[in-house]
Structure 1
Amino acid sequence: MLYALTEHLAAEFPDHHLLATASWSFQIEGFASEGHCQFDPLEIPVEYEYRWEMEHRLSRANIWTGWFSVQWEEQSYFLLCVNFHKDYGRQRHWFLLGETEAATRRFFEAVSQFATEVTGEVLVFDGGCWAKDKDLFDSIQNSTWDDLILEGDLKAEIRQDLEGFFKAGETYRKYKIPWKRGILFLGPPGNGKTHTIKAIVGSIGFPCLYVKSLKAEHQTDHQLIGEVFDRTRATAPCVLVLEDLDALIDDENRSFFLNELDGFAANEGILTIGTTNHPERLDPAILERPSRFDRKYTFRLPGELERSAYLHRFSEKLEPDLRLDDEDLKIVAEATDEYSFAYLKELYLSSLMSWISAPGERPIREIMLSQCQTLRSQMTTEPEPESQPSPQRRSTLTPAMMRAYMDRWR
């Protein structure tokens, strides 16, 4: 069918040069939305595929089939989009018609170059598609090393290790050492893994690619993993973030993922950061083989010193009536043993809401100590019976489970 369509177009437009592509890099919609060209549907109706995005509470229309006119640098083009269903899924093809071969190739190269450049946004892979996310990039700029509180020298160690990696590219090449790193962040949820990733990306100045999912309706996991690593290699040097790795990788796609990670193609200049709240769910081939993730950092529940520092950092940004003094910080820090940073944030926010309902009637410290009991009851939910959870499940972590977990992975 594809060959027949190509022949038909060539016959129908003998005075035009035809360029056909199924490359992920031909992202004409993004190129046009940034004002680099004019991209308009012709009178022939365009078919769209609609997806509902829960996160943004809106529907997104993806072009399925249609004809378009394009104006770029005083050149005119016709563009046809067709999606083909195949045994393994769906593939989108573009057929570009230009006045000359040189003009057609120049436009294709300009669009593809745009797709590989990442400036002022994060590339997010979800549902089989890449998208540039400016909001996520902005949130990263607001997550600095200064605001990050971690146990002991962990912050300094991570920062020195990973910032040094990008500065040492020439040294790696000189001594013929593969210039790539794989890092795993382990530990219970809410203890700084995501903040650390944002601080890394915000400070190194290289592009970030974030994998949100490896599932799509019309594509296989192997296709999607291949697209992720193809795009990452084209963008390098860069950071590839695989958050909640245990939910992304399963028995069906693990072998292909490992081959892409370290097997058949060079990953020059790529820092891969994986995170997991549940390292026991990761296959030993991922967790224990150094050449894949050569360094593991464990993010433990914060001790009293870290809790006090976190509460102080949060408190100092508030109005005077809502701040904790040194004595208050010590009391609340002592009362929040086994709290994660996420629970500390929730404690302060819920206490603020309670204070606002009756401003000044009770000091913020008193409200926070009362809220501690409520939150602690949420932390002590009875654990589920032991079983092998599916990769997509999230179990509740109790303090006892957290202690056992940390003893195991210490």
Structure 2
Amino acid sequence: MGDIRGLDMDTSTISKTFQGIREHFSGQRESTELSIAHVLRTSHPGFDVTCTAKSDYDLLGYAKAGYATASEIFGEAFDATRTYVSPSTRAGNDAPKLRDSIRCGSWRYTWEENEFLLYEVYYHAPFQAPKQICFVLSPRSDGVTGRMSPATDALLLAAGAWCAKLHNEIYVFDNGAWKKSKKLWNSVQGSSWDDVILNQDMKANLIKDVQGFFDNEKLYTNLAVPWKRGLILHGVPGNGKTISIKALINTLYTRPDPVSSLYIKSFTCCAGEKFAIGEIFKRARKMAPCLLILEDLDSLVRDKTRSYFLNEVDGLESNDGILMIGSTNHLDALDPAIAKRPSRFDRKYHFKLPNEAERSAYCQFWRKKLIDSDMVEFPEELCDIVAKLTEGFSFAYLKELFVISLLSVARGHTGEEDLVIVEEEKNDEKLELDSAGKAEDVKAEGNTAEKSEGTAAPEKKLTVPEVAIPESLKDNTLLQILRSQTKMLLEEMDNTGDSKGKAGKAAEKDGGDAQSNFFMQRAQEQNLFGVDGDDE
């Protein structure tokens, strides 16, 4: 019978074990698990040895959460690299840390008065993703026969059940593997539909669609309808797709029966994209009911994997309880088998450029945030004026407009230094914007005769709309700065007006104006909310 307490006085057994593991990694190998298990059984003859995958049983994480205790066995019998971890931000108050990346280590482990030895080994195998395996050693009890230790099995069942759940985390799939991300979960905390300015009918329908799906499992069953659904959020960048997904994640997590979220960064992995797609749906089926987020769907699903992806979506295996949300800036780039086939993605929500009422509501949102500030005067009637000045702006550019304007106010600017009053141009062609943000050519009377055949039309310029300013607001500093910054943003849009390519063409089909074209080209390929999904 083995005795863990005896190892406190004599670590020679641990050293001999480490020597055997080192010899294995110093030569040719076929089965790492078998070789290390043989070393452990030889060096610990009084113990049952159980090999597990850390991805299924994070025993150290289970102990860190307070359900067990783990004490690392120090000495020379370990293999680790110590790295410097800088503060999260250069100006942050958190202190730098030193962190060990352990490739081979051992711990004394206690759970419910049962004592174990735990070995963890991390290694790279040719043409495979890195592997992290752990070996649980339990003292062999007298009279107990069998291949596995009952005490170890009880520990693995408890730890496995804990690891299968998310604990203030979101599952992120990247590089062919799942990771639990607290950073991504933290980034959605506080996200509320109250902060999402959208067409009220569309917002209500989207909320009802998602919440209703998870509320009505029995209804789907009674109607003999598969309990699965897919939604596509599409439109030019900066008009609320990402913030709507954040609000969905947060509100689903706060339900009486919390719904987990799974976020897909990429299908890329060394085993191939088909393997990645299979792993994604395998996990989603285990986590159901769940929200499966496929951001930038048009770039995720490529021609060579489309059929395999659709087979998984159609559910040769049951997809009950899975609600898929795919987002895209380029609806026309999606294959019709995805975009136009019901029962795969059933509904499409178009996030258009905000109209005047929505822009005014967004201004009210900022006004409420600043209602108690004594740094800026923000009267309510200013909201409708700004809404008229920013015709054709996306929500992202409205946010940029307010951020840079408020910073200018804080720095003592008045707006008069660079404000240009746009006067009516009677003899030049100019560009006006209709209420939907669509560009229209407007020609002044008598101007057409001046253009000779074959002469190139002058470049169209985006201009700040002429808006009547009430006498009470003419000296308002914030309004003057907002007008100035609006002009500068329009000039920035003009500078990209001759850009070509897929993004521009997609924008023309999706909204048709120069602003849309600009917003599309400014969109960057990045993961959800700019969070990498990796936790320390």
Distance 1:398 1:295, change over 3 A: closer
- Indicate which of 40, 57, 62 corresponds to 1:31: 62
Match among 105, 109, 121 for residue 153 of structure 2: 105
- Sequence identity of aligned pairs in percent? 37
Q: Residue 310 of structure 1: CA displacement? A: 0.6
Separation in 2, partners of 1:231, 1:61 = 29
Residue aligned with 1:113, SS: helix
Q: Flag the 1:214–1:192 CA change in 2: closer, same or farther, 3 A.
A: same
Matched residue type, 2:315: G
Q: Which has the larger radius of gyration?
A: 2
Is 2:439 the partner of 1:386? Answer: no
Match of 1:331 among 385, 394, 405: 385
What is residue 358 of structure 1 aligned with on the other side? Answer: 412
Residue 312 of structure 1 is matched in structure 2 by 364
2:262 match: 209
> Which position in structure 2 is the counterpart of 1:301?
353
CA distance in 2, matches of 1:103, 1:14: 17
The yes-or-no answer on 1:75 pairing with 2:129 is no
- 1:92-131 to structure 2, matched below 5 A, reads 92-99=132-139, 101-131=149-179
Q: For 2:194, what is the secondary structure of its paired residue? A: coil
CA contact (8 A) 2:107 2:119 kept: yes
Output the CA distance in 2 between the equivalents of 1:52 and 1:223. Answer: 33
Q: Quickly say closer, same or farther: Cα 1:37–1:134, change in 2 above 3 A.
A: same
Of the three residues 482, 500, 514, the one matched with 1:368 is: 482
Give per-residue Cα distances to partners, 1:243-271, cap 9 Å, x unaligned. Answer: 22233333454444333333332222111
Residue type of the alignment partner of 2:340 = E
- Cα distance, 1:130 vs structure 2: 3.5
Matched, 1:16 2:47: yes
Q: Distance in 2 between matches of 1:267 and 1:51?
A: 44
Alpha-carbon distance in 1 for matches of 2:376, 2:161: 51
CA contact (8 A) 1:128 1:219 kept: yes
In structure 2, relative to structure 1, the CA distance for the partners of 1:278 and 1:387 (3 Å cut) is closer
The answer (yes or no) to whether the contact 1:46–1:65 under 8 Å persists in 2 is: yes
- 8 Å CA contact 2:79–2:105 kept in 1: the answer is yes
Q: Any idea what the Cα deviations from partners look like across 1:298-349, whole Å, max 9, x if unmatched?
A: 1111011100101111111112553532331122111111111111111000
Whether the 8 Å contact between 1:191 and 1:342 is mirrored in structure 2 is yes
- The aligned residue for residue 285 of structure 1 is 337
* RMSD (Å), alpha carbons: 3.4
Structure 1: gaps (5+ residues): 390-396
Q: Secondary structure at the match of 2:198?
A: coil
Between stretches 375-384 and 182-191, larger displacement belongs to 375-384
Unaligned runs of 5+ in 2: 1-29, 91-95, 141-148, 416-475, 505-510, 521-536
Indicate the residue corresponding to 1:136 in structure 2.
184
Whichever residue aligns with residue 133 of structure 2, its letter is H
CA 1:12–1:289: 2 relative to 1, 3 Å? farther
| Native 8 Å contact 2:197 2:358 kept in 1 | yes
TM-score (norm 1): 0.84
* Per-residue CA distance 1:38-89 (angstroms, 9 max, x = gap): 3444332234598999998999865444444333222222223243514344
8 Å CA contact retained: 1:49, 1:64: no
CA shift for structure 1 position 23: 6.5
Which 10-residue stretch deviates more, 262-271 or 327-336? Answer: 262-271
Residues 249 and 76 of structure 1, relative CA distance in 2, 3 Å threshold:
farther
Secondary structure of 1:17's counterpart equals: strand
Determine whether 1:145 maps to 2:260: no
Q: Specify whether residues 403 and 90 from structure 1 end up closer, same or farther in structure 2 by C-alpha distance, changes over 3 A only.
A: closer
What is the CA distance between 1:112 and its match in structure 2?
1.9
- 1:173-184 maps to which residues of 2 (within 5 A)? 173-184=221-232
Three-state SS of the structure 2 residue aligned to 1:18 is: strand
Query: Residues 104 and 119 of structure 2 are in contact (CA less than 8 Å); yes or no, is this contact kept in structure 1?
Result: no
State the partner residue of 1:402.
Answer: 516
Task: Give 1:139 shift.
Answer: 3.8
Distance in 1 between residues matched to 2:298 and 2:102, nearest whole Å: 32
Judge conservation of contact 1:83–1:92 (CA < 8 Å) in 2: yes
SS in 1 for 2:195: coil
Shift of the 388–275 alpha-carbon distance from structure 1 to 2, 3 Å rule, reads closer
Residues 184-205 of structure 1, C-alpha deviations (whole Å, 9 max, x = no match): 1111111111121122222233
In structure 2, the residue matched to 1:268 is 320
Displacement of 1:219: 4.8
Partner of 1:169: 217
Preserved contact between residue 261 and residue 290 of structure 2 (Cα < 8 Å): yes
SS in structure 2 of the partner of residue 191 of structure 1: coil
Which residue identity is paired with 1:187? G
> 1:349 maps to which residue?
403
Match for 1:335: what amino acid?
L
Conserved 8 A contact 1:66-1:82: no
Greater mean alpha carbon deviation, residues 289-298 or residues 13-22? 13-22
Distance 1:52 1:252 in 2: 40
> Is the alpha carbon distance of 1:90 and 1:225 closer, same or farther for their aligned partners in structure 2, counting shifts above 3 Å?
farther
Matched length: 398
1:117 deviates by 1.3
